[in-house]
Amino acid sequence: MENKTLKKIDLIFADYTSSKYKVLEKVLEKTPDEIINEIIDSGLKGRGGAGFPTGLKWKFTKNEDNPVKYVICNADEGEPGTFKDREILERVFRKVLSGMATCGYAIGAKEGYIYLRGEYLYLVPELEKEIEYFDEFAKKLNLDFRIFLRMGSGAYICGEESALFESMEGKRGEPRNKPPYPTVSGYNQCPTVINNVETFATVQIICKIGSEEFKKLGTSDSRGSKLFSVSGDTPTPGIYELELGMPLTDFVDNYGDGDTKAVQVGGASGFCVPRKHLKDTIIGFEGIPTGGSMMIFNSSRSMYNVLHDYLEFFNEESCGQCTPCRVGCQQLLKGIESVKKGERKPQYLDELKKLASTMKIAAKCGLGQSVANPFNSIVDNFREEIIY
């Protein structure tokens, strides 16, 4: 294992030349294959949470034989504890547009869409201005690629890629069966690249500094740096860009309040790491991957309340389409409530853990499949707090 320590990086928000799309201009001198190979070579994995290799996603989509293809930027940012995409959109939006245009050129798409969560409506006027400027610039460069803005309406599940396509098609945001994957059949059933806001911004950075330079950061499994959204019991809540691959202890030493009991890595759908495991937990794809949400809890917090909050969240945000998730989320919530009240024996928690594990296999999409992450990790590590 590579031994990394916490290192602050300044790439995403740095060097924002507000006047021109210089990097994009240079990129367009390359061939689509050269660009895709550069992204593959960089080892960049998606920054939205799931971590699929970005270059491969682009390559698969490019190889599809369909005259119509789409580029979609997932700006639905709904994972509790995540707020870095909003900051990127507010501060360095041109990097995102540049990344999207790079993708459009590389895969042969003429249209790109940004799906912005309804909660960020106040960003729209500024974003629209920037998109207009981009349009003019693309025309000057003879780049046949236009970008449009679409809004969500307050549904966490619409961050799931296939639910997002459904929503853009005017339907209920209910995830589709997979396969087919978006690279084959996405928006309007056409081949689609969908990436997170930060992924597109990072593409612009790789195009600027080159994949060799980018690869110097992070580990072989987790290349580069990424943004972390830090909240909870910390004296310094905020957004920090850090090199991937650090041990969680380093993180807590820097951002904890000295009394950290646990860290929830990856939001409500992520994992709870108790103090005793901070040392042997790596933040990255070889350990616990995260879309960036880091919620810190100190010893004054009841982990029962934390789990209860997460389960309420899933109950409300489950699209209700498949039974394991719709009913499972309800039963998990009711279950811990009844154990807490003493209506059920503590052993009932083991039944509930089995239910959560069944949901991991039987649920249709990532929402239902990941409820077991917080559930089992909190119940395993803080059983007493759930019972008493």
Partner 1 sequence: MSNIETLVKNLVEKHGKTRNSLMPVLQGVVKEERYLSEDAMIIVAKELDLSAAEVYGTASFYTFLDTVPRGKNIVRICKTISCHMKGKDEIIEALENAMKIKVGETTHDNKFTLLTANCLGWCHKGPVMLVNDVVFPELTPEKALEVIQDYVKNSK
Binding site for partner 1 (CB under 8 A): 77-83, 85-86, 117-122, 150-156, 167-174, 188, 229-233, 237-239, 268, 295, 297, 301, 305-306, 309-310, 313, 316-317, 319
In the shown chain, the binding pattern of residues 76 to 95 toward ligand FMN, with x for contact by CB under 6 A and - for none, equals xxxx----------------
Taking the least distance from each CB to ligand SF4, the nearer of 152 and 247 is 152
Q: How far is the CB of 185 from ligand SF4 (least distance, A)?
A: 17
Angle (nearest 5°) at CA 14 between 230 and 239: 5
Q: How far is the CB of 36 from partner 1 (least distance, A)?
A: 28
For the chain, what's the residue count?
A: 388
| 159: contact with ligand FMN by CB under 6 A | yes
Position with the least CB separation from ligand FMN:
46
Q: How far is the CB of 380 from ligand SF4 (least distance, A)?
A: 22
Q: How far is the CB of 374 from ligand FMN (least distance, A)?
A: 13
Taking the least distance from each CB to partner 1, the nearer of 188 and 358 is 188
Query: Which residues partner with 192 through β-bridges?
Result: 70
Contacts of ligand FMN in 176-215 (CB under 6 A): 194-196, 199
What does 326 interact with, of ligand SF4, partner 1, ligand FMN, none (CB < 5 to 8 A by kind)? ligand SF4
Phi, psi of 317 (to 5 degrees): -100, -10
> What is the gyration radius of the CA atoms in the chain, in angstroms?
21
Give 300's Cβ-side CA count (13 Å radius): 6
Task: Give CA torsion, residues 196, 89, 216, 15, to 10 deg.
Answer: 160
Q: How far apart are CA 198 and CA 89, in angstroms?
A: 9
Position with the least CB separation from ligand SF4:
368
- For 155, residues 6+ apart whose C-beta sits below 8 A from its C-beta are 78, 163, 167, 173, 317, 319
Q: How far apart are CA 293 and CA 302, in angstroms?
A: 20
Which of 14, 50, 121, 361 is the binder for ligand FMN (CB under 6 A)? 50
| 367: contact with ligand FMN by CB under 6 A | yes
Strands of 100-183 (E only): list them: 111-116, 146-151
User: Which amino acid is present at 74?
Assistant: N
Q: Which residues bind ligand SF4 (CB under 6 A)?
A: 157, 175, 318-322, 325-326, 363-365, 367-368
Q: How far is the CB of 343 from ligand FMN (least distance, A)?
A: 31
Which 3 state secondary structure label does DSSP give 40? helix
Q: How far is the CB of 150 from partner 1 (least distance, A)?
A: 7
Q: How far apart are CA 193 and CA 21, in angstroms?
A: 22
Strands of 184-292 (E only): list them: 192-196, 225-232, 238-243, 260-265, 271-274
Taking the least distance from each CB to partner 1, the nearer of 81 and 104 is 81
User: Two tokens at 162?
Assistant: 């296939």
Taking the least distance from each CB to ligand FMN, the nearer of 232 and 266 is 266
Q: How far apart are CA 296 and CA 282, in angstroms?
A: 16
Pick the stretch among 8-16, 89-97, 143-151, 159-167 that binds ligand FMN (CB under 6 A): 159-167
| 328: contact with ligand FMN by CB under 6 A | no
Angle (nearest 5°) at CA 138 between 133 and 139: 100
| 143: contact with ligand FMN by CB under 6 A | no
- Binding residues (CB under 6 A) for ligand FMN: these are 46-50, 52, 74, 76-79, 157, 159-161, 194-196, 199, 365-367
